[in-house]
């Protein structure tokens, strides 16, 4: 008889193979590759623009100074607006600010809730954009195939935005544009809270 460990290894390998075949047949890899190719020019443009601005104007220093000047309510309000509209400002700056407050974990919790709520609001912004006749026609007619794949893998899009250092609100706006189920957005998007917990543990211990 084969050792039990070998049997488990074989079963695990077969499951991975089946998963790989499923992703291949359903076009998941192609969808991700096409999405990356289309997004790369915009990402590069944004990085270059931020680098150019930061060369003449220290953005991080200005944001840090802003957290020192504004009262707690002002910082939280500014963060919520940022997390709702594109979310291009790194949340780590605000987490570091929370770490210096008298109740750091309370403020970290508030930041996490605001980030999560901002993403959900961004989702409805995306849904409202689709009500524009020209946008609706473009999405439903010219982007029919892409929308079909996007709806199929919308959960992956939300998870990536929630966990990785990418703008969460952009993922949520995209989910709204493709009319991904809101309950699923709430579920997958809750991983955003986990990211803030992990970042808090790292940043608070470093302060």
pLDDT digits (tens, 9 = 90+) for 38-62: 556 655 665 566 566 555 665 567 6
In degrees, rounded to 5, the angle at the alpha carbon of residue 131 between the alpha carbons of residues 125 and 132 is: 100
**Is the pLDDT confidence value at 165 over 70?**
yes
Classify 163 in phi/psi space as left (phi over 0), alpha (psi -120 to 50) or beta. alpha
In degrees, rounded to 5, the angle at the alpha carbon of residue 84 between the alpha carbons of residues 167 and 200 is: 60
In degrees, rounded to 5, the angle at the alpha carbon of residue 124 between the alpha carbons of residues 50 and 120 is: 70
Nearest to 83 by CA among 202, 169, 21: 169
Cα 35 vs. chain centroid, distance in angstroms? 15
Q: What is the pLDDT of residue 163?
A: 83
Nearest to 167 by CA among 83, 93, 99, 97: 83
What's the burial of 134, exposed, middle or buried (CB within 10 Å: 0-12/13-18/19+)? exposed
End-to-end distance of the chain based on CA atoms, in angstroms?
56
Give me the sign of the Cα torsion angle 102, 106, 109, 113: negative
**Is the pLDDT confidence value at 207 over 60?**
no
Nearest to 135 by CA among 176, 103, 185: 176
Contact 172, 128 (CB under 8 A): no
Which tens digit of pLDDT belongs to each residue from 73-121?
988 999 999 899 877 788 888 888 888 888 899 999 999 999 999 999 9
**Is the pLDDT confidence value at 196 over 90?**
yes
Q: Where are the domains of the chain?
A: 26-206
Q: What is the pLDDT of residue 107?
A: 93
Q: Which residues contact 97 (CB under 8 A, 6 or more apart)?
A: 64, 67, 75, 107
Contact 124, 169 (CB under 8 A): no
Q: How confident is the model at residue 69 (pLDDT cuts 50, 70, 90)?
A: confident
Nearest to 192 by CA among 74, 87, 97, 45: 87
């Amino acid at each position: 008889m084969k050792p039990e460990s070998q049997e488990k290894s074989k079963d695990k390998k077969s499951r991975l193979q089946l998963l790989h075949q499923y992703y291949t047949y359903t076009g998941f890899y192609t969808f991700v590759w096409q999405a990356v190719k289309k997004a790369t020019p915009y990402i590069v443009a944004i990085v270059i623009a931020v680098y150019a601005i930061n060369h003449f104007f220290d953005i991080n220093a200005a944001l840090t100074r802003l957290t020192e000047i504004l009262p707690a309510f002002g910082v939280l309000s500014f963060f919520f607006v940022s997390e709702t509209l594109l979310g291009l400002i790194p949340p780590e700056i605000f987490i570091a600010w929370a770490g210096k407050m008298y109740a750091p974990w309370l403020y970290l919790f508030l930041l996490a809730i605001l980030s999560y709520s901002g993403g959900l609001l961004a989702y409805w912004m995306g849904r409202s954009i689709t009500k524009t006749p020209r946008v609706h026609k473009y999405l439903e007619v010219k982007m029919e195939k892409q929308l079909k794949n996007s709806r199929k893998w919308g959960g992956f899009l939300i998870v990536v935005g929630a966990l990785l250092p990418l703008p969460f609100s952009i993922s949520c706006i995209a989910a709204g544009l493709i009319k991904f189920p809101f309950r699923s957005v709430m579920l997958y998007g809750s991983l955003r809270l986990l990211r803030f917990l992990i970042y808090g543990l790292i940043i608070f211990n470093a302060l």
